[in-house]
Amino acid sequence: MGVGYSFTDWNSRSVLNGTHFVGLQNFKEILTSNKGYLSGIGNTLKFTIISNIVKLIPALMIAIMLQEGLRGKGLYRTLLYLPSILPFVIIGLIFKSILNYNTGLLNTILDALHLGILKQKWLSDLGVVWKSIYGVDAWRGIGYVMTIFLAGLNTIPKSYYEAAEIDGANFWQRLRYVTLPMLTGSIMINLVFGITYGLKVFDIVYVLTNGGPGHATEVLTTYAFQLYSRGQYGMSSALNTILLIITAIIGVGIVKKMSKQEVQQ
């Protein structure tokens, strides 16, 4: 939907009554009197932060292990990257089946191993539903993040590590003083992609939980979809416009920081 509709009262009755300009009324209503928005923005920010953490750290560790000459690294790299090319909807449907409490593969395996005490209502229990979403999202995204880190690692001259070893640096010192500083660009790229994705996440949440249980996993995009489904097109467009502005501000800020660091280097 165009940004222009954010400033109108466009709704399901507009076909008969016409669409009228309402200025910032939609934005005011969303920001000041809409509990769904407050819940949605909180969940969106939480997802953006945590999903980046659970992907960036493991992906970096795996990339370093592969770069260190792990046997069969080509196979591991392919297997880890493969999920990232699958459509979100397909992944969501697969894991919705796997995580089903009564018939899902995960609980079936736990029963077979006599670990029924560990069974959970993975997609409907408030205590574990977000963990399930983070897990599915990480399964899909770690390979992509890892690939960017591997590209960055391949640009680091081996002479840097050789010099560090001559100076007596151990693995952790090489990681801190050589690897991480040289991977700043890759880290920033992953952050830009990760934050943009996190703020706009829709498919994986919608397919797995549809914002439930209740509104516990409602994010801004699923809430905008709910508004649209109820015929509140102007409100939905306004919410999407707010999301666009937030994403642009954060993205520009990260890019500027990257540019400054490149100039300093």
pLDDT confidence of residue 34? 66
As a CATH number, domain 35-264 is 1.10.3720.10
Domain ranges in the chain are 35-264
CA distances from residue 114 to 28, 205, 237 in whole angstroms, order as listed: 54, 31, 50
pLDDT confidence of residue 32? 80
What does the chain come to in residues?
265
CA distance 96 to 207: 8
pLDDT confidence of residue 248? 86
pLDDT confidence of residue 15? 62
Angle value at C-alpha 229, between 228 and 231, nearest 5 degrees: 65
Contact predicate 143/190, CB 8 Å: no
Return the DSSP state at 118: G
Of 195, 209, 64, 57, residue with least CA distance to 133: 209
Coil, strand or helix at 21:
strand
Return the DSSP state at 236: H
- Beta bridge mates, 134: none
Return the DSSP state at 96: H
Q: What proportions of the chain, in percent to the nearest 5, are helix, strand and coil?
A: 75, 0, 25
Distance of CA 240 to the CA centre of its chain: 17
pLDDT in tens, the chain (265 residues): 578 888 888 887 776 677 878 888 888 888 886 677 788 889 999 999 999 999 999 999 999 999 887 777 888 889 999 999 999 899 999 999 999 999 999 999 999 999 989 999 999 999 999 999 999 999 999 999 999 999 999 999 999 988 998 888 898 999 999 999 999 889 989 998 999 999 999 999 999 999 989 889 999 999 999 888 888 888 889 988 988 888 888 878 877 777 776 556 5
pLDDT confidence of residue 4? 83
pLDDT confidence of residue 231? 85
- Beta bridge mates, 21: 8
pLDDT confidence of residue 262? 59
239-253: burial string, b at 16+ Cβ within 10 Å, e else = bbbbbeebbeebbee
CA distance 144 to 140: 8
pTM: predicted TM-score of the whole model, two decimal places: 0.88
